[in-house]
Structure 1
Amino acid sequence: MLLEGKNAIVYGGGGAMAGAVARAFAREGATVHLVGRTLAKLEQVAADIEAAGGHASVAVVDAYDADAVNDHLASIEGRVDLTFNGVSVREKQNIPVVELAVDDFVRPVEDAARTNFATATAVARRMIEQGGGGAILMLSSSAARESGIEMGGFSLACAAIECFTRTLAGEVGKHGIRVLALRPNFTPESHPDWVNTEDGSLDHLTVGTALGRLPRLAEVAGAAVFAVSDTAGAMTGSVLNLSCGAVID
């Protein structure tokens, strides 16, 4: 297994994307510490992991609050080897940017910067104290590189995450710590309650992709496992393009 014996923290662990990543980490042998604000959702993911023979703990923590993040991190025994931040941001989309209020445009940028800075720097400090090594993984999206689809401030938020990935990687690499980000396109499985994949409503997202489809949660989770594993040990400061070719690097 690729993550045998590793300790992982997954922020936003009760969500669809982070939950899928957490389950994949556990399947590959990691002990997963699930962090989020909704206990019931965290407990469901933990139950799935335990039922599959894995190991998980849950903690209700606001990942926008640096003090709360630090306090939780201090409570974890042993090494911290891996972390993934899948915390959602507050954003308004499907409105022309010229019609957006300033607060609505700026809010997702502030949210993304705050939670990723709070979690990634806290974990990086812990990894340095441990003697170095480890992998920090963030979540962007194809919005960081797309245009013309009324993403509002979400596009800038994702671009900020990718910029921070490169910045932090350049600073902590000397400690053997790798920093990466995932850039999936929209994943319909993350929103089963309001997305109908059969009625053509997602055609505007798929028509411009090289593969003619959108990414699956399992593909995103599998890429996350690869990114934090020793198999990808030479990768840092990189963004893994999982957009099905909506963006061509």
Structure 2
Amino acid sequence: MAARAAIVVGVGAQSGLGAALARRFAREGLCVVLVGRTLERLELVATDIRANGGKARVAVADVTNEDEVTALFNTLEAPETLELVAYNVGSNVMVPSLEMHAADFEDMWRQNALGGFLIGRQAIRTMLPCKRGSVIYTGATASLRARPGFMAFASAKAALRAVAQGFAREFGPQGIHVAHVVIDGVIRGDYARERFAGFVKAKGSDGLLELEDIAETYWTLHQQPRSAWTHELDLRPFKEAF
């Protein structure tokens, strides 16, 4: 019998949310497909999962390309075993609005909204015959409000939120749990340490979101009984103002 399966889209650094989600799902016995743009990074995470007794394989794919997304799901050994897909794509850059190039604005939309739609559509197509499964999207503070310098990112994340809502309203009644998680704060990981070292230091030991705690929340969402599903929740450190 084929193992229960999960797909995590947007796996980069070993100390990143995509990797943390993959590790958490693998601990529950799921065979996790790690999807990203860099084979070497994917293999590092997969090797770590296997070393700890989990099952993982990797797939390099451009999630804004419809054909590549279709091909990704076609690699599943047994589509009926797919029970969880996490979409964790979308880089954040700060650029003043009047200096933002149209191509960069479009690229951010493609990563978030288009990629989220293509992955979500194919995931739901795969899950619908069994009328069960979870699709979880990673959002951000910018999903709810735009701030100077982050207009492109906010518009892309707001669009992704709309994609999640649309799927949830249409396919929730058919057994597919679609959730959107607003990450309202900075995650303690390689991305923040490399780009915002001063900010990370100023926040202190309790000022950042911990990878394992976020991953635990995603797993909890997946485990919710259908009589009490959450569509959207926000996560932030207890010291974070909001």
TM bracket, shorter-chain basis = 0.7 to 0.9
Counterpart check, 1:241 vs 2:239: no
Q: For the Cα contact (< 8 Å) 1:162–1:239, is it kept in 2?
A: no
Sort the Cα spacing of 1:232 and 1:150 in 2 relative to 1 into closer, same or farther, 3 A.
farther
Q: Determine the C-alpha separation between the residues in 1 that align with 2:200 and 2:49.
A: 33
Counterpart check, 1:80 vs 2:82: yes
The Cα of 1:30 is off from its aligned counterpart by 1.6
TM-score between both structures, scaled by the size of structure 1? 0.83
Q: For the Cα contact (< 8 Å) 2:146–2:155, is it kept in 1?
A: no
Sort the Cα spacing of 1:150 and 1:188 in 2 relative to 1 into closer, same or farther, 3 A.
farther
Indicate the residue corresponding to 2:211 in structure 1: 217
Q: Which amino acid aligns with 2:88?
A: G
Q: For the Cα contact (< 8 Å) 2:113–2:157, is it kept in 1?
A: no
Q: For the Cα contact (< 8 Å) 2:90–2:108, is it kept in 1?
A: no
Of 19-28 and 239-248, deviating more is 239-248
Sort the Cα spacing of 1:140 and 1:247 in 2 relative to 1 into closer, same or farther, 3 A.
farther
Indicate the residue corresponding to 1:155 in structure 2: 154
Counterpart check, 1:140 vs 2:139: yes
Sort the Cα spacing of 1:187 and 1:232 in 2 relative to 1 into closer, same or farther, 3 A.
farther
Q: Determine the C-alpha separation between the residues in 2 that align with 1:212 and 1:232.
A: 33
Q: Determine the C-alpha separation between the residues in 2 that align with 1:147 and 1:202.
A: 25
Q: For the Cα contact (< 8 Å) 1:142–1:243, is it kept in 2?
A: no
Q: For the Cα contact (< 8 Å) 1:10–1:34, is it kept in 2?
A: yes
Of 13-22 and 50-59, deviating more is 13-22
Q: For the Cα contact (< 8 Å) 1:92–1:152, is it kept in 2?
A: no
Q: SS state of the match for residue 83, structure 1?
A: strand
Q: Determine the C-alpha separation between the residues in 2 that align with 1:182 and 1:104.
A: 25
Sort the Cα spacing of 1:235 and 1:73 in 2 relative to 1 into closer, same or farther, 3 A.
same
Indicate the residue corresponding to 1:187 in structure 2: 187
Mapping for residues 1-249 of structure 1, pairs under 5 Å = 6-15=4-13, 16-78=16-78, 79-89=81-91, 92-93=93-94, 95-128=95-128, 130-184=129-183, 185-191=185-191, 192-196=193-197, 199-200=198-199, 203=202, 213-230=207-224, 234-236=228-230, 238-244=231-237, 248=242
- Aligned-residue Cα RMSD (Å) equals 2.6
Number of matched pairs: 233
TM-score between both structures, scaled by the size of structure 2? 0.85
For 1:62-92, what per-residue CA distance to the aligned partner results, in whole angstroms no more than 9, with x for missing partners? 2221211111212212221100111234x53
Q: Determine the C-alpha separation between the residues in 2 that align with 1:25 and 1:146.
A: 31
Give the 4+ runs in structure 1 shifted more than 6 A.
Answer: none
For 1:39-81, what per-residue CA distance to the aligned partner results, in whole angstroms no more than 9, with x for missing partners? 1111111111111111111122222212111112122122211
Q: SS state of the match for residue 140, structure 1?
A: strand
Sort the Cα spacing of 1:219 and 1:153 in 2 relative to 1 into closer, same or farther, 3 A.
same
The Cα of 1:170 is off from its aligned counterpart by 0.7
Sort the Cα spacing of 1:181 and 1:200 in 2 relative to 1 into closer, same or farther, 3 A.
closer
Of Structure 1 and Structure 2, the greater helix share is in: 2
Q: Which amino acid aligns with 2:36?
A: G
Q: For the Cα contact (< 8 Å) 1:226–1:232, is it kept in 2?
A: no
The Cα of 1:244 is off from its aligned counterpart by 2.9
For 1:151-191, what per-residue CA distance to the aligned partner results, in whole angstroms no more than 9, with x for missing partners? 23111111111111111001111220010122112214141
Q: Determine the C-alpha separation between the residues in 1 that align with 2:10 and 2:104.
A: 22
